[in-house]
Copies of this chain bind each other. A is one copy, B any other.
Amino acid sequence: MADDVTMDQIVSLCRRRGFVFPSSEIYGGLGSTFDYGHYGVLTKNNIRGRWLEAMVQERDDIVLIDSAIILHPRVWEASGHVEGFTDPLVDCRTCKLRFRADQLESAQCGRKPSRHPGGTPDCDLTEARQFNLMFQTTVGPIEEAGAKAFLRPETAQGIFINFKNVLQLARRQPPFGIAQVGKSFRNEITPGNFLFRVREFEQMEMEFFVPPAEAEQWYRYWVDARFDWYLRYGLRRSRLRVREHGEEERSHYSQGTSDIEYDYPIGWSELEGVANRGDFDLTRHTEFSGTKLEFVGLEGTARYVPWVIEPAVSIERIFVAMLVDAYDEEEIAGRERTVLRLHPAIAPVKAAVLPLIAKDPGMVEKARALYEELRRSEVVEYDEGGAIGRRYRRQDEIGTPFAFTIDGQTLEDDTVTIRERDSLVQERVAIGQVGAKLTEELRKPWTTPKTD
């Protein structure tokens, strides 16, 4: 595993700089649920934005959808979730807690916290039974069976049930894709590891519909394309790998699945999954709904059920991977700094504008004017609080790639210093050129300063 950063360091930075807090903290918290602070929201927005650019805006063949979270309950019968989206659970009649049957080794007995339930003589475990991971609720005022509903455990099914709408209205034919970003919910028995396994998370899924004969080729294409996306946004190649599932590991619907794994502090784990789902989903929804979900070519020249290739990831897992990958502590001229070497397109704040002396009205005036100009097109911060070194370190910790400092010389010649986060190189530039310079710097391909 990545041995130069621990999950505790990431959790601590997130807390200290207001990226992520434990949720409902003033009420004692709610296990494995988190709220995002200002920088966390901005970072997530950037991850989502870059995904949408690559998956939709820069392509011809993928359109967007945003389906409801509470869908018709039959959707989850067709998808197999009602029957099969379960974990095996056992109860302990002694300590009254419940455990995953397949994880008893690492479980904690409620009475004897230091010992495993299986190894405690007074543990009295029931037979394992299946527990469905979908959150259940009731829609509408009539409390009868028909009104039972589920919070979606994935966004994919909202795409499949709209396949026909998109085919007709967006005038598409395979190969084409439908992308969706939105919250999904899973009533995890053993959530944990910070944002790694949480009960509500934001999925980014894309279902790519292809002629069956092209499925294998597109499956390979999407594994490569998604892998390259992580490199493009600065993750170290040495901490990324593709792991293909063995036949016994694959889901019932899968003709082939590869995980793009990241070397998290907890070890190699799934970052994104790419699956060849075959015709499972469209066939099942055809069967359950009676609506034929297939592609029919012009004048009936072709007629088939497309196969589906699905790259699926959660923003939370990308968020953690990017923070882990970016985290660095170093000593510069005898002083320690923590720095997040985030890709500039992911960094929550693009630049800081800093008057060297907060009590100098001339500096403050010029700094404010520059700040107000820059924030029209980018997220920038103005900071006049404290010594300049301390302000730089604050920006380093949240990963701000550039700082513009207004000093005594600015008052004479209208130049400011640009300080670059990674190299710490400082150069002077005319204040009137700062906006264009920032735009240019942010559009440059970024060369990671990280060592492999």
Contacts and interface: CB of A to CB of B under 8 A. Distances in A.
A165 B21 CA distance: 8
Given A63-B38, A169-B37, A382-B60, A161 B68 contact: no
A36 interface: yes
A136 B137 contact: yes
Given A26-B289, A141-B89, A70 B158 contact: no
B137 A35 contact: no
Contact of A200 (B25, B69, B89, B170): B69
A27 B72 contact: yes
A69 to B, nearest CB: 6
B71 A37 contact: no
Contacts of A38: 63-65, 166, 170
Nearest to A15: B169
Contacts of A444: none
A84 interface: no
A165 B60 contact: no
A30 B146 CA distance: 11
Contact of A65 (B31, B35, B135, B136): B35
B164 A97 contact: no
Interface string A128-166: 000100011111111000000001000000100110111
Given A139-B199, A142-B97, A285-B26, A33 B169 contact: no
Contacts of A288: 27
B23 A165 contact: no
Interface in A372-387: 375-376, 379, 382, 385
24 contacts: A18-B169, A18-B170, A23-B68, A24-B71, A26-B161, A26-B293, A27-B72, A27-B161, A30-B68, A30-B71, A30-B72, A35-B65, A35-B66, A37-B65, A38-B170, A41-B64, A41-B65, A41-B66, A70-B135, A70-B185, A135-B138, A136-B138, A137-B137, A140-B187
